[in-house]
Amino acid sequence: MAAQAARGRYLIEESREIVLVLDDQLRVLAASRRAREALELSEGADVPSELLGDEGGRAPVVVRYSLDGRNETLVYLGEPGDQAAYEELRAGFTAAVSHELRTPLARLMALLDSAELPGADTAALISSARAEVEVARELIDDVLFLSELESGREVVSLGGTPALPVFHEVADEYRERAARAGLVLTVEGNASAEVPVRPRLLRVVVTNLVENAIRYAGEGATLTLRVLVAGGRVLLVASDNGAGADEQDLSRLFERFYRADRARTSRGTGLGLAIVKHVVVSAGGEVEARGAPGHGLEIRCSFPAVR
């Protein structure tokens, strides 16, 4: 029973939702962290009756039950506009995925039709068709991975991971591919700095940062991966001196499927930096992009130091 009680407390505390447990007088017995932050309600506080209605666009789910002879109420409280916003996001995401999949599938069909023509270079066309299948596969993999992150099935933060060794591993893995793209990879920084991200997901972050530079920095650029400690925080920085980005693009680089005009012809999925942001934010960090056209791009991920 003690283990079950502890498990229940963790479920409530770490929930992404606004969750309240109330007694029969509508006083707070327990509240999730998000509930305490959003509503400023502590244990023992009275809950305003309007919060339990659907005023202001909130949509509460109320579950009443009895425990050891005591009547209690479990309340899931939605933010104003949550459902409408979710439906809009879901519809937009579905449309974007459909659009992104149509392009490689259309190219694939064109290549297969061309392979049936007399005198066609079948081997070359099949090779190009394989590349289009790979693009579609990468997109599907990224969509599924992002879905796991957002649903909470993929746990992001679990202890601390030394960042610099992961930077070196990924750089070694991608150095040959970067060289083919005319990009030089370097790694430097604090060897003892740790970030609150599982090793596998830290590799996902670093890999996407490197792949982003390979695709968009341009030939002759250098990408420097740094691990820094400053002001009680650990910074993971990926900076290049390549093509850069327009100011209006910087704030949108982390959006799903967003590509700046110069990147429209890229074979990437358009989800790499969205995944980076989701992992970093889920681990309690922050991410930002800096740069200018012709002056390179810097992606900076900031985490609280692991204690």
| Residue range 115-135, pLDDT digits in tens | 888 888 888 888 888 877 876
Q: Is the pTM of this model over 0.75?
A: no
Which of the pair, 32 or 38, is modelled with greater confidence? Answer: 32
For residue 101, CA distances in Å to 119, 175, 218, 252, 264 come to: 30, 29, 26, 21, 15
Contact, 225 vs 208, CB < 8 A? no
Look-up: residue for tokens 């390979």?
214
pLDDT interval class at 153 (50, 70, 90)? very low
CATH of 2-77, one of 3.30.230.10, 3.40.50.740, 3.40.50.970, 3.30.450.20: 3.30.450.20
Q: Which pLDDT belongs to residue 171?
A: 94
Which residues are bridge partners to 202 per DSSP?
Answer: none
* E strand residue ranges, the chain: 18-22, 28-31, 61-67, 70-77, 161-162, 184-189, 194-195, 222-230, 233-240, 286-291, 297-304
The CATH H-level (homologous superfamily) assignment of domain 161-304 is Histidine kinase-like ATPase, C-terminal domain (3.30.565.10)
Strand order in the sheet with 18-22: 28-31, 18-22, 70-77, 61-67
Which of the pair, 143 or 201, is modelled with greater confidence? Answer: 201
Contact, 302 vs 286, CB < 8 A? yes
Q: Which pLDDT belongs to residue 56?
A: 47
Q: Where are the domains of the chain?
A: 2-77, 82-151, 161-304
Which residues are bridge partners to 240 per DSSP?
Answer: 223, 297
CA distance linking residue 210 with residue 178, whole number of Å: 9
CATH class held by domain 82-151: mainly alpha
Q: pLDDT, tens digit, for every residue of 163-199?
A: 999 999 999 999 999 999 999 999 999 998 999 887 8
CA distance linking residue 272 with residue 197, whole number of Å: 17
Q: pLDDT, tens digit, for every residue of 229-283?
A: 988 899 999 999 998 888 878 878 887 666 554 444 455 556 778 888 888 888 8
Q: Which pLDDT belongs to residue 89?
A: 46
Q: Which pLDDT belongs to residue 86?
A: 47
* Helix, strand, coil distribution of the chain in percent, nearest 5: 45, 20, 30
Contact, 47 vs 20, CB < 8 A? yes
How many Cβ atoms sit within 10 Å of the Cβ of residue 109?
12
Residue 164: closest CA among 239, 242, 234: 234
* E strand residue ranges, 135-245: 161-162, 184-189, 194-195, 222-230, 233-240
Statement: residue 222 has pLDDT above 70: yes
Statement: residue 22 has pLDDT above 80: yes
Which is it for strands 18-22 and 70-77: parallel, antiparallel or unpaired? antiparallel
